[in-house]
Amino acid sequence: MTITKEVIPSSEPHKSDREKIFRFAMALLFATFLLGSPCAAQTVTGLHIFTGGSDGAGPAAPVTADQKGNLFGTTWNGGLQSCDGGAGCGTIFKETAPSTSGGKWIFTRLYEFTGGNDGCCNSSTLAIDREGRLYGVTNGGLPGGSVFQLTPRGSKSTLRLLYTFSNKADGDFPFTPLVIDKSGALYSASFYWGLPGCLYNDGCGTIVRLVPPMRKGGAWTEKTLYQFRGGTDGGNPSSALVPGSNGILYGSTASGGRVTQNCPNGCGVVFEVAPPRSGGRWTERVLYTFQDAPDGAFPYALVADKSGALYGLACCHGRSSENNIFKLTPQKNGTWHKTVIHDFSNSSAYPPSYIIFGGNGILYGTIFGDIDLDAGQVFQLTPPG
């Protein structure tokens, strides 16, 4: 494969452990929920410049588009100035698409978080259902984060809290975008708690499902589908869940698997969780265990192609550099075969942020910074032939 890069500006990385995890988490969740297409050079047009006031500040996640081309997104801070020490607890916004080509986009703040029962600090891409309702997660303001539903009606938009994580067996820090199935059920991965151990001894993470009520206005029902143990099964889910056939969900972990000197908590795995065929429990199966150098470690940012193959990023301990892009291909005997399709040069100081699929199998992504330039890069990876 060939790779081309373009230098873009970026900022310095965060320093504290929690902030590092947050920035890493933001990189992980981008992969599945951004859409890309091959194109010639484009003109970048700013649709809205956030002021840090009532409109919000720090839009940390990609936007979601509805069928009309309107965009919906969230901010980490801004909004209610009395929240989070004056920084604000974040907002949900809408960019209404112009009715004519070249027309003006219209920005509307749909909701501002209070940091109370509605939570604080939204870090994930919103999911949208057939009726146009929005779903997302918060990471603060409540014991372990929350899942919410927003019915967008301009300034009269209403937010409903669907579930609050207890920071115990059900999970903590649900930073990945939600997955909606055909029945309207929601699936979420939490980075922390569940079972004890793993990174920072803050728990190994969970996968949960929220089932909508039979009657309008009823309570949603939570079920913990899987608690990671931090052993060979992996720990601390590190990417957005990728829907597969027959209700299977794919993901990756930032710990567990093979323990080495470089990976004291494990180098991470790629896994699937599958629903029971007739009653019973969901089951987890490891598709690949990362082996440390030169194989790579700490996989994240999974995406799938039309054939069902999985692609992702390994942030550390690659063959000729710290970072690589890998591919997992399902085999007829039920196993998965891993290949490294690109190794980044040693000049990459930070791991790539995400990858997305465009047309013709081209992968696009960004790198936070570079040892030589420390400015960041945009790259594309073109398949052979």
Q: With contact defined as beta carbons under 8 Å apart, do 172 and 164 qualify?
A: no
Mean pLDDT over residues 357-374, rounded?
73
Give the H/E segment covering residue 27: helix 17-33
Mean pLDDT over residues 71-84, rounded?
91
Q: Report residue 26's pLDDT band, with 50, 70 and 90 as the boundaries.
A: very low
Separation in Å, CA 66 to CA 73, 91, 128: 11, 18, 7
pLDDT, tens digit (0-9, with 9 covering 90-100), for 122-169: 878 899 999 999 999 998 778 889 999 999 998 889 999 999 999 899
CA–CA gap between residue 242 and residue 158 (Å, rounded): 29
Whether pLDDT at 226 is above 90: yes
Which residues make beta-bridge pairs with 4?
380
Q: What is the dihedral of CA 211, 277, 230, 294, to 10 degrees?
A: -120
Describe the strand order of the beta sheet including 363-367 as a list of residue ranges: 2-7, 377-382, 363-367, 352-357
Whether pLDDT at 176 is above 60: yes
Residue 373 burial by CB count (10 A; 0-12/13-18/19+): exposed, middle or buried? middle
The pLDDT assigned to 28 comes to 43
Q: What's the mean per-residue pLDDT of the chain?
A: 84
Residue 16 burial (CB count, 10 A): 8
The pLDDT assigned to 36 comes to 37
Q: With contact defined as beta carbons under 8 Å apart, do 86 and 80 qualify?
A: no
pLDDT, tens digit (0-9, with 9 covering 90-100), for 236-286: 999 989 999 999 999 999 999 999 999 999 999 999 999 998 878 999 999
CA–CA gap between residue 205 and residue 284 (Å, rounded): 13
Residue with tokens 């052979």: 384
Write the CATH number of the domain with boundaries 2-38+52-382: 2.120.10.30
Would the CA dihedral through 175, 61, 163, 65 be positive or negative?
negative
Contacts of 180 (CB under 8 A, 6+ apart): 127, 129, 135, 186, 187
